[in-house]
Amino acid sequence: MTKSRDSRSAAMKQGTALLCAAFLMPVSDSRAQALDLALAQPVVFSEPEPDQEPVEEAEANALEAEASEAGPVEPTALRQRFDEERRLADNPLIFLPYRANFFLPASYYSGHEASEAARGVDYSPTEAQFQISLKFPIDDQLFFPNDALFATYTQESYWQIYEKSSPFRETIYEPELVYGVSTEYDLLKELTLEAVTIGVNHQSNGQGGEFSRSWNRLFVAGLLASGDWGISVKRWFRIPESAEDDDNPDLEDYVGLTELSMAYRKNNHVVTFRSRNHLESDFKRGNLQVSWSFPIGERYKGYVLLRTGYGDTLADYDEKIHRIGLGISINDVL
């Protein structure tokens, strides 16, 4: 288009120059000849060229072609987990896992002396530990096409299976009501905000008297992913209670107010890391946990759990405890 306009402009300038030259000549045969020549000079217009593709569109098409040659982008490990849950959610015969479900027949912890002194009961430092964690879909597409409301229930038990009468030392009950929105928003080239959740959480140990522990919290969390990595950043806010109903007013000082969880999946192995902390404690309190699940068969996986810090159990939340456990897991978080 630009070249055709330039050609027409040049031709018009040439014709105008010839006419001007003819009129500026003295009146004579030469002037008449010049006029005849100017009027007879053909004005040639070039055929218009097809419009050139805009630069932005050309770059976009080049990127699209490059992406097409590279093949489809594989979903992140966390997105694959979400898609699998969505596929199974409508089956009433299937329970969806929430957190890891595991059974550890051998779980050694360092704080049994404190538990014995407080309760006047002999405890073995080696016990069985297991966790049941399930998710129950309630409804979806409430406000957005990709949102969902669901309830969860998590129970973690510490079982003195090797002691006489095999008592349960403590069981922690943790129901939640959660609302989540799937976002799939690219924060960086290799980091995606997969979902945002908000919810209400109740946690208690079901005991009475001086060993009763319970609290209620509101929380907000962001779930991020990068390839085989899954990341959760959570902040909770304790719901205030009256002084007479509060069994443990300083619980958050030891357990913390924030939680950072990371999981990495590779070749059917999953390694997780979890940190809970109260930022005002200069990282002197809180809790660290590392787990590793590895293949041992078609149905179950081996599971190793390491934990250190405060809040290992609710009854002994203000005691620093180190724990190592070995057993099997039924599902992974990725």
157 tagged catalytic? no
Measure the CA–CA gap between 136 and 79, rounded to whole angstroms.
19
Measure the CA–CA gap between 214 and 317, rounded to whole angstroms.
11
291 tagged catalytic? no
Nearest to 200 by CA among 181, 183, 221: 221
- Helix axis angle, 2-24 to 29-40, nearest 10°: 170
What is the residue type of 198? I
Within 8 A by CB and 6+ apart from 246, the residues are none
170 DSSP β-pair partners: 158
222 DSSP β-pair partners: 196, 233
Long-range CB pairs of 39-44, under 8 A, 24+ apart, other chains included: 41/14, 41/15, 43/11, 43/12, 43/14, 43/15, 44/7, 44/11
Burial status of residue 229 (CB atoms within 10 A of its CB: 0-12, 13-18, 19 or more): middle
- DSSP character string of 43-69: ---PPPPPPPPPHHHHHHHHHHHHHHH
Burial status of residue 263 (CB atoms within 10 A of its CB: 0-12, 13-18, 19 or more): buried
Q: One of 157, 204, 226, 281 is an active-site residue; which one?
A: 204
| 3-state secondary structure at position 209 | helix
Which H helix or E strand runs over 274? strand 269-277
Which H helix or E strand runs over 8? helix 2-24
Q: One of 110, 202, 226, 269 is an active-site residue; which one?
A: 202
What is the residue type of 130? F
Supply the residues annotated as catalytic: 202, 204
